[in-house]
Structures are given as structure tokens and as C-alpha cells.
């Protein structure tokens, strides 16, 4: 889908995600943008979204290259829903020469930290369709880009830290602006009317995000995310977790195992608010225990 404009003030690339076409996000882009914006919202092939992400990245890169070549001096806006945001992370990572042209980058429910659903489907990353690709942690790429391009990541909490498909924690990464909304399911984030003013507000004031915090909680979260096999989780098990460490600023660390014996870890505040939730499988239990021991050692 391309909305024609012979003399645009902006180029807008709007990319759909997994099991989808460009129709819905194309309509959202058209509703949010003004008449001076050239909108490109390609459909990559619904079936192709089940196979591999690499051909999709190449396809988007080729389309964007043609559009940018035809309008070399026009600033760029980018928005991607779910896997569409991941596709554009890969495209931007391969084309740093475009970064100075990019006015803003908006991700709608994109599992930047690696989809927990995808990791359940393909826990060993052996290549079961796009599950391996969606389960990849792209925070390093996202954080590098967000330091140079004004970036907004929007998450929705429908049920205890998840939009029904992507966890809230999955959408967080350093240097980005982060916005949490409520009660809009994952599949509706690409077309819900409430998304329009959120997008327009960021376009009106596209700032770089604040530097990462240096408090206890942020340090602990960063260490836990570095554990091999760590997957960002929802908050459903937080209420029954056990506090294993407490700190003077009110930060707490909790653990619990679910019915399958999966090890969950939480960082909380005042034993009530969950600031981070994650889990590791059995083969990565040692790494989690090592991280917990290091936190305990460095804070005593």
C-alpha cells in the first residue's frame, strides 16, 4: 500500500507484523499522518511471515531503498507493529547511513527482548518457522539505534503484564521512550483509534529517551537480562513469589517455580509493585543461580 504524494514533506514507512498484511497498519498510518506524507505500507505475504524473517527484512530494505532514492532529502518516519518493528530494527541496523534522515521510529507491541511465545514454540532455537527469529533478543540493536534516533516503544497491558501475545517487559529497552497503555489487545494496536493521538504526539515532539537509571533495581534488571536463556515474562506469578532479598531503597528480588518447574525471577518495589519478570528453562538454572549469588555478594 502506497499513498501517493508528488511533493512530500515526510516519508512514512508503516510495517505489519506476523500473520498479517499491510492493510490495517496502512490505514492507521493514513489516519495519523497529514496529506504531505508519502506512506509506504507493503504487504510482505502472509504465508511468508510464518517461514523466516530474513527474506522479509531484505524485501523491506529493497522497498525502502527505492523510495529513499527517489526522495533523498525528505525526512523519514517509521512505525512497525509487532514483528514489523523487529524487521525495521534489522533494516536500520544494516543501513546506518539512513539514521540522520530518520525523524522518528515507533514500535507498537514489538517483542524487542525476544518473544516468550516464540521461545515456548522453539525453546532451543533450532529454527521452527519464524519462532527462532521472533525469539531473538534485539535489545543491543534497539539500544544502539535509540541513542541516535528518537524512538518510542508502546506496550499494552491487557492481563497482568501482557497484551495477550507480547509481554510488557519484552517491549522495554534502554534509551527509548516507553509508553504503557491499557486494555488494547496486541492485534488491535495496529488499528485502534486510541493509537492515533499517541503517534501524533510523538511526531510533534520526537525526543531521544532518557539515559538508563543507575539505581539498584535497574542494575539488577540489567544483570538478570544478561543470564543465558532469560525470557521476559508477564507478572502473573509475582503474587505468589517468595522474597529472597530486600534492600534499603525498597527494592526486592523474588523467585518462584511454576507447575512445570520453570524458574521465575522478579524485581519488585516495596514487595508490591513488579518492576521486572523473567524466567529461565531448566538448562539455564545454573546461570540464574550464579546471577542471584553475584547480586547478593555485591550488595552485602
| Per-residue model confidence as pLDDT tens digits over 149-200 | 999 999 999 999 999 999 999 999 999 999 999 999 999 999 999 999 999 9
Last-in-domain residue among 151, 176, 204: 204
Q: Cell 547478593 sits at which residue?
A: 296
Residue 211 resides in a domain: no
Dmax over CA atoms of the chain, in Å, equals 65
Contacts of 43 (CB under 8 A, 6+ apart): 1, 16, 21, 22, 23
Torsion on CA atoms 10, 40, 202, 25, rounded to nearest 10:
160
Nearest to 275 by CA among 226, 214, 227, 233: 233
* Residue 163 shares a structural domain with residue 234: no
Mean pLDDT value of segment 216-220: 93
Mean pLDDT value of segment 237-252: 94
Q: What angle do CA 202, 183, 269 make, to 5 degrees?
A: 85
* Residue 197 shares a structural domain with residue 63: yes
Categorise residue 81: left if φ over 0, alpha if ψ from -120 to 50, beta otherwise.
Answer: beta
Nearest to 82 by CA among 187, 230, 202: 187
pLDDT of residue 4: 59
Residue 230 resides in a domain: yes
* Residue 52 shares a structural domain with residue 140: yes
* Residue 167 shares a structural domain with residue 288: no
* Residue 127 shares a structural domain with residue 33: yes
Long-range pairs, 120-128, Cβ under 8 A, ≥24:
123/281
Mean pLDDT is lowest, of 110-114, 196-200, 244-248, 259-263, for: 259-263
* Residue 184 shares a structural domain with residue 64: yes
Dist CA 78 CA 105 (whole Å)? 5
Segments forming the whole domain that contains residue 247: 216-298
* Residue 106 shares a structural domain with residue 174: yes
Average pLDDT of the chain, as a whole number: 94
Q: Is the pLDDT reported for residue 64 higher than 90? A: yes
* Residue 90 shares a structural domain with residue 195: yes
pLDDT of residue 269: 93
Q: Is the pLDDT reported for residue 260 higher than 80? A: no
* Residue 192 shares a structural domain with residue 244: no
Residue 109 resides in a domain: yes
Mean pLDDT is lowest, of 22-26, 55-59, 61-65, 244-248, for: 244-248
Q: Is the pLDDT reported for residue 280 higher than 80? A: yes
Q: Is the pLDDT reported for residue 85 higher than 90? A: yes
CATH code at 198? 3.40.50.1820
What is the pLDDT confidence band of residue 295, given thresholds at 50, 70 and 90? very high
Q: Is the pLDDT reported for residue 48 higher than 80? A: yes
Mean pLDDT is lowest, of 120-129, 189-198, 268-277, for: 120-129
pLDDT of residue 124: 75
Q: Cell 510523538 sits at which residue?
A: 202
Dist CA 182 CA 258 (whole Å)? 26
Last-in-domain residue among 169, 204, 239: 204
pLDDT of residue 300: 67
* Residue 191 shares a structural domain with residue 274: no
What is the pLDDT confidence band of residue 5, given thresholds at 50, 70 and 90? low
Residue 209 resides in a domain: no
CA-to-CA separations, 181 to 128, 173, 192, 230, in angstroms, rounded? 32, 17, 12, 25
* Residue 188 shares a structural domain with residue 237: no
Mean pLDDT value of segment 64-73: 97
* Residue 28 shares a structural domain with residue 109: yes
What is the pLDDT confidence band of residue 1, given thresholds at 50, 70 and 90? low
Residue 210 resides in a domain: no
258 or 139, greater pLDDT:
139
Percent of the chain's residues with pLDDT above 70? 98
pLDDT of residue 211: 87
Nearest to 131 by CA among 231, 57, 52, 46: 52
Last-in-domain residue among 204, 232, 249: 204
Segment 94-111, tens digit of pLDDT: 999 999 999 999 999 999
pLDDT of residue 122: 85
Contact 152, 104 (CB under 8 A): yes
Distance of CA 221 to the CA centre of its chain: 16
Residue 28 resides in a domain: yes
Distance of CA 256 to the CA centre of its chain: 25
Give the count of domains, the chain.
2
Nearest to 190 by CA among 163, 170, 169: 163
Buried b (16+ CB within 10 A) or exposed e, 96-125: eebeebbbbbbbbbbbbbbbbbbbeebeee
Residue 279, Cβ density class (10 Å: 0-12 exposed, 13-18 middle, ≥19 buried): buried
pLDDT of residue 214: 85
Amino acid at each position: 500500500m502506497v499513498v501517493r504524494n508528488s511533493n512530500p514533506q515526510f516519508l512514512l514507512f508503516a510495517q505489519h507484523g506476523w500473520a498479517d498484511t499491510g492493510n490495517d497498519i496502512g490505514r492507521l498510518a493514513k489516519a495519523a499522518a497529514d496529506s504531505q506524507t508519502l506512506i509506504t505500507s507493503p504487504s510482505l505475504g502472509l504465508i511468508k511471515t510464518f517461514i523466516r524473517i530474513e527474506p522479509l527484512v531484505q524485501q523491506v530494505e529493497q522497498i525502502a531503498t527505492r523510495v529513499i532514492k527517489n526522495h533523498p532529502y525528505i525526512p523519514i518516519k517509521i512505525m512497525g507493529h509487532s514483528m514489523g518493528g523487529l524487521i525495521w530494527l534489522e533494516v536500520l541496523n544494516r543501513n546506518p547511513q539512513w539514521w540522520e534522515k530518520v525523524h522518528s521510529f515507533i514500535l507498537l507491541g514489538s517483542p524487542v527482548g525476544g518473544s516468550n511465545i516464540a521461545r515456548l514454540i522453539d525453546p532451543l532455537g533450532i529454527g521452527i518457522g519464524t519462532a527462532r527469529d521472533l525469539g531473538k533478543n534485539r535489545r543491543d540493536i534497539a539500544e544502539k539505534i535509540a541513542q541516535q534516533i528518537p524512538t518510542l516503544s508502546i506496550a499494552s497491558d491487557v492481563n497482568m503484564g501482557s497484551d495477550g501475545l507480547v509481554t510488557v517487559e519484552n517491549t522495554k529497552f534502554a534509551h527509548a521512550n516507553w509508553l504503557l497503555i491499557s486494555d488494547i489487545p496486541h492485534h488491535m494496536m495496529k488499528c485502534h483509534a486510541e493509537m492515533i493521538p499517541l503517534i501524533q504526539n510523538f511526531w510533534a515532539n520526537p525526543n531521544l529517551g532518557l539515559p538508563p537509571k543507575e539505581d539498584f533495581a535497574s542494575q539488577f534488571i540489567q544483570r538478570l537480562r544478561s543470564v543465558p536463556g532469560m525470557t521476559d515474562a508477564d507478572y502473573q506469578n509475582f503474587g505468589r513469589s517468595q522474597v529472597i532479598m530486600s534492600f534499603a531503597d525498597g527494592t526486592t528480588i523474588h523467585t518462584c517455580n511454576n507447575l512445570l518447574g520453570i524458574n521465575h525471577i522478579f524485581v519488585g518495589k516495596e514487595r508490591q509493585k513488579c518492576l521486572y519478570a523473567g524466567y529461565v528453562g531448566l538448562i539455564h538454572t545454573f546461570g540464574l543461580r550464579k546471577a542471584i549469588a553475584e547480586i547478593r555478594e555485591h550488595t552485602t
